Structures are given as C-alpha cells and as structure tokens.
Amino acid sequence: MSSISGISLLRERARKAADLVERHDFIRVYTHHDADGISAGAIIAKALLRAGKSFQISFLKGLNESFDYEKGELLLFADMGSGYADLMSEVDTDLVILDHHIPNGEIQPKRNLAHVNPHLVGMDGTYELSASGVSYFFATELGRNRDLASMAVVGMLGDKQKIIGGNAEIVREGIEAGVIEEKKGVALHSGKLRDALLKSLEPYLDFYGREEELKEFLRKARLDGDRDVDNLDDDEIRRLADAVVLRLLQMKTYTGVFEQIVGKRLILKNMLVKNSVMLTDVVNSCGRAGVMSIALSLLLGDVDSLNKAIKINDDYTIQVLEELKRRRDEVREGFCIRYLVMEDGLSASPIATTLSRYIMADKPLIVVNIKNEYAKVSARTNEDLARRVDLAEVMKVAAEKVGGRGGGHRVAAGANISAEKVDEFLKEVDRLCCAMLA
Ligand SMILES: [Mn+2]
C-alpha cells in the first residue's frame, strides 16, 4: 500500500478519535515517559486546550504499570495500548489509542473505540510514524493545529525514525505552516562546537575523556572549537561533516546513521529550543530523569522550564558518557549477540542504543540492568541486521520462556524478567538470534 493511501486511511481513524473526543468534556490521558510519548502528550494537551476540553495527563513507563479511570469519561492512551489488546478489551469506558507499536491481536471494545496506529493502515510504525506523529494527525482532525508539526518532530527523532512516509508529510505541513525550516548541517547541539562534539551522544563521537583526539580532530578539519554550531558557514559545515563521517567510519559505526547525522537539519521555529536535535535530547533527558512535566512545559512554551530542562540534560549527558566509558569493557560476546549485565546501572536503554549504533554495530546488543529481584532488558540492533533479526519477537519469546514479558520493535525491544533467570534468558536470546541470522 502506498503511503498516500495509508495516510488518508490513518486520517479517517484519527477523525473517529476526534469525533469521540468531541462527545466528551473530560479526557484522561496516559502517555509514555520517553521523548515520543512526552511530545505526543504536548500535542494532545495543546489540541484539547484549543478545543476547550478538560483533561489530565499522566505518564506511564508502560502498561505493566496500573492506570485508572472513571466510567463515562474518555480514556486516551498515547504511545502505548496497541500491544495490549487483552488489557484494552477490559476497559469499560470510551477509549482512544494513538500508538505506533505493533498490535498484538484484536481489541474487543466494551464501549466506543478509536484505534489509530500506522500498522493498521499498511504504514510502517517503526520508521515512518511515531506516536507523536499519530497524535499530530489526530490534532489536525480536531482543529486547526498544523503548527504542532514541530512537536511531532521531537517524537520522530526521539524514536530514531526517518523523515519518510507519514513523518515526511508532517514535516511538509510544518514547513507550509511556517513552523519548520530545513537547513544544511550536522546533527549537533547548539553552543560551542568543541563542547557539542565532546558531549554528543547522537552522534556519539567517542571524544569524551579523549580531549587530545578532539583537539587533533578540530585542527585537521581546520575548525575553530569556539565557533557556535548554529553559526557555521557552508564551508565549515562541509569540513565538519566530512570529518565526522571519517571519525565514525574509523569507529566502525553502522553506516545507516550517517544520513541522520549529516545533511538536513530541522529548525523548529515556534519552539523555545529551535535546534530539533537538541530539543529532542533535552525532552528525552527529562523523561529519563523522571521529570516529564518539565519537558511537557518546555514543549508548551513555558520559559521558566527552559533552564531547568537544559541543566537536567547536561547532568544526564555526563552520567551517560561516564557510564559508557565504564561499561564498555564489560560487554561480553555470545555466539550471535553481545551482552552486558549491569547491577544497579544508570539505565539500560541509552547504553544499549549508543553502543549498538556506534561502537558495536555488527551484532545485536542486549543490555540487562538488574535492580533487586528484577531485570530490565534493552535489546538493540541496526536496520541492516533487523531485516533478518526481529528483536520484538526475540524479546517476547525469550521473556515468556522464563516467565517474563517482552516486546517492542524489530530494531529496539525490551523485556522484564526476574533477576535469577538472566542467564537462561540470554542463552535463549542468543539461540533465537542465531536461528534468525542463519
Ligand atoms: Mn514511541
């Protein structure tokens, strides 16, 4: 199915969701605590405010956490719900789901249901539409909300998606509405070039703790580290892009990330942080630090939250850089995977994402974080390997085998298992990955 007809089918479902919202005065919203979920929450909040609706937004890590609602009100889930058909079928009130995770089975609704998900209309929810993108289409059905396209960009980037299909349509509408601008550049934060390169996690350039290499990098590329990233001229941008690509090639980074790092950059003209890469990281860090409301306020234009959010991002970035430096040597080799088992680590997912994309791109990477009797697992690979390996399936099957629960996307999935089952789980994951790669 072409993405054009996919988008119009998605709009029809979004229309149904908007119709349901119009029939209620109060909407209870649950969204995910990551960048995509938070920006979905911001889009929904703005759209509901403009529609004159009362609402309450809460953040969940997932649907294994409990949620509540009162009969008669409208319950809305963003960035979650599709993968829990059983749980959604039990909901005894009107229900809207704005999600992009792979649906697992048919929801048998007790009341009215609007289920908006790219996978249900032949679109790809892994690369071409995120939950904030779905929320954007919902918002544009509810009212004149095209200016919210810039918020949807945060979700696309946060979920490492591509500007294709539904996402490309949103960016196009955002440019048309005057809230997004495309510029040439390298995906780095605003500020001094030296700092931006040193602390960058996406792209991860491995300069942290290697300041001499960074000096040499700048010297060879004939770049001044004191220059502001946002003010580089075309010539400087070209030299920077060449040098970054060379560095990544030497690091054996998965080459598929290059197009996301070098080339087009999106400027979000109606956001407090206009650099889309930086805004995404800031929102993501707030989510990781558990202060989702600061990120939500930032997206909604609250100036007071700006400095707080930047500080949280700075602290978080240093923590991740330190953790990467420390954990890198603890990664072990399986047959077809690499794995890292941490006890009380910072968080499995940023470590897994960075290592699997930039340093250890040739095998799926499984990072396990053990806290008390529970183990949280993050599995990551790149799109190339994901053509053969489906980590969502691997996590689901291996987790269920040891009495846990798992799922997600082909390239990025996760599981929750008990700590004592970690060895057995990893063996099964390795076996499944070998079978898929064979
Ligand atoms: Mn998402």
Q: Please give the distance, rounded to the nearest whole angstrom, from the Cα atom of residue 360 to the centre of ligand 1.
A: 24
Separation of CA 277 from chain center: 12
How far are the Cα atoms of 60, 79, 137, 331 from residue 30, in angstroms, in the given order? 7, 9, 18, 36
Q: Please give the distance, rounded to the nearest whole angstrom, from the Cα atom of residue 39 to the centre of ligand 1.
A: 10
Q: Please give the distance, rounded to the nearest whole angstrom, from the Cα atom of residue 159 to the centre of ligand 1.
A: 6
Q: Please give the distance, rounded to the nearest whole angstrom, from the Cα atom of residue 409 to the centre of ligand 1.
A: 10
**Tokens 């199915």 belong to residue:** 1
Q: Please give the distance, rounded to the nearest whole angstrom, from the Cα atom of residue 131 to the centre of ligand 1.
A: 5
**Tokens 């700075």 belong to residue:** 314
Rounded to an integer, what distance in angstroms lies between the CA atom of residue 299 and that of residue 303? 10
Closest C-alpha among 383, 346, 344, 341 to residue 364? 383
Burial of 45 (0-12, 13-18, 19+ CB in 10 A): buried
Q: Please give the distance, rounded to the nearest whole angstrom, from the Cα atom of residue 240 to the centre of ligand 1.
A: 31
Q: Please give the distance, rounded to the nearest whole angstrom, from the Cα atom of residue 226 to the centre of ligand 1.
A: 36
Residue 301 · residue 272 · CB < 8 Å: yes
Q: Please give the distance, rounded to the nearest whole angstrom, from the Cα atom of residue 366 to the centre of ligand 1.
A: 20
DSSP code for 170: H
Q: Please give the distance, rounded to the nearest whole angstrom, from the Cα atom of residue 273 to the centre of ligand 1.
A: 21
Q: Is 209 left (phi over 0), alpha (psi -120 to 50) or beta?
A: left
pLDDT score, position 259: 85
Q: Please give the distance, rounded to the nearest whole angstrom, from the Cα atom of residue 231 to the centre of ligand 1.
A: 32
Q: Please give the distance, rounded to the nearest whole angstrom, from the Cα atom of residue 209 to the centre of ligand 1.
A: 32
Q: Please give the distance, rounded to the nearest whole angstrom, from the Cα atom of residue 126 to the centre of ligand 1.
A: 9
Rounded to an integer, what distance in angstroms lies between the CA atom of residue 433 and that of residue 22? 47
Helix (H) or strand (E) holding 324: helix 304-327
Q: Please give the distance, rounded to the nearest whole angstrom, from the Cα atom of residue 101 to the centre of ligand 1.
A: 7
Q: Do the bridges between strand 332-333 and strand 338-343 make them parallel or antiparallel, or are there none, so unpaired?
A: antiparallel
Q: Please give the distance, rounded to the nearest whole angstrom, from the Cα atom of residue 100 to the centre of ligand 1.
A: 7
Q: Please give the distance, rounded to the nearest whole angstrom, from the Cα atom of residue 262 to the centre of ligand 1.
A: 23
Rounded to an integer, what distance in angstroms lies between the CA atom of residue 187 and that of residue 129? 20
Q: Please give the distance, rounded to the nearest whole angstrom, from the Cα atom of residue 242 to the centre of ligand 1.
A: 31
Residues pairing with 225 in the sheet: none
Q: Please give the distance, rounded to the nearest whole angstrom, from the Cα atom of residue 34 to the centre of ligand 1.
A: 7
How far are the Cα atoms of 153, 190, 271 from residue 265, in angstroms, in the given order? 11, 12, 15
DSSP code for 402: T
Residue 386's CB: how many other CB atoms inside 10 A?
Answer: 19
Directed axis angle between helix 149-158 and helix 276-288, to 10°?
A: 70
Would you state the structure tokens that stand for residue 224, as one six-digit string? Answer: 């001044």
Domains along the chain with CATH numbers: 3-176 (3.90.1640.30), 184-324 (no CATH), 331-437 (3.10.310.40)
Question: Nearest 5°: phi and psi at 368?
Answer: -115, 130
Q: Please give the distance, rounded to the nearest whole angstrom, from the Cα atom of residue 118 to the centre of ligand 1.
A: 12
Q: Please give the distance, rounded to the nearest whole angstrom, from the Cα atom of residue 288 to the centre of ligand 1.
A: 14
Q: Please give the distance, rounded to the nearest whole angstrom, from the Cα atom of residue 192 to the centre of ligand 1.
A: 31
Q: Please give the distance, rounded to the nearest whole angstrom, from the Cα atom of residue 25 to the centre of ligand 1.
A: 27
Q: Please give the radius of gyration of the chain, using alpha carbons only, rounded to the nearest integer.
A: 21
Residue 80's CB: how many other CB atoms inside 10 A?
Answer: 26
The amino acid at 214: L
Q: Please give the distance, rounded to the nearest whole angstrom, from the Cα atom of residue 335 to the centre of ligand 1.
A: 30
Burial of 425 (0-12, 13-18, 19+ CB in 10 A): buried
Q: Please give the distance, rounded to the nearest whole angstrom, from the Cα atom of residue 223 to the centre of ligand 1.
A: 37
Burial of 211 (0-12, 13-18, 19+ CB in 10 A): exposed
Rounded to an integer, what distance in angstroms lies between the CA atom of residue 236 and that of residue 329? 35
pLDDT score, position 264: 86
CA dihedral 35, 371, 356, 403 (to 10 degrees): -100
**Tokens 């100036």 belong to residue:** 303
Helix (H) or strand (E) holding 379: strand 374-380
The amino acid at 436: M
Q: Please give the distance, rounded to the nearest whole angstrom, from the Cα atom of residue 270 to the centre of ligand 1.
A: 22
CA dihedral 313, 316, 320, 325 (to 10 degrees): 100
Q: Please give the distance, rounded to the nearest whole angstrom, from the Cα atom of residue 264 to the centre of ligand 1.
A: 22
Please report how many Cα atoms fall inside a 13 Å half-sphere around the Cα of residue 121, on the Cβ side. 24
Q: Please give the distance, rounded to the nearest whole angstrom, from the Cα atom of residue 407 to the centre of ligand 1.
A: 13
Residue 398 · residue 432 · CB < 8 Å: yes
Q: Please give the distance, rounded to the nearest whole angstrom, from the Cα atom of residue 352 to the centre of ligand 1.
A: 17
pLDDT 10s per residue in the chain (438 long)? Answer: 456 699 999 999 999 999 999 999 999 999 999 999 999 999 999 999 999 999 999 999 999 899 999 999 999 999 999 999 999 999 999 999 999 999 999 999 999 999 999 999 999 998 999 999 999 999 999 999 999 999 999 999 999 899 999 999 999 999 999 999 999 999 999 999 999 999 999 899 999 999 999 999 999 999 999 999 999 999 999 999 999 999 999 999 999 889 888 888 999 999 999 999 999 999 999 999 999 999 999 999 999 999 999 999 999 999 999 999 999 999 999 999 999 999 998 778 889 999 999 999 999 999 999 999 999 999 999 989 999 999 999 999 999 999 999 998 899 999 999 999 999 999 999 999 999 998
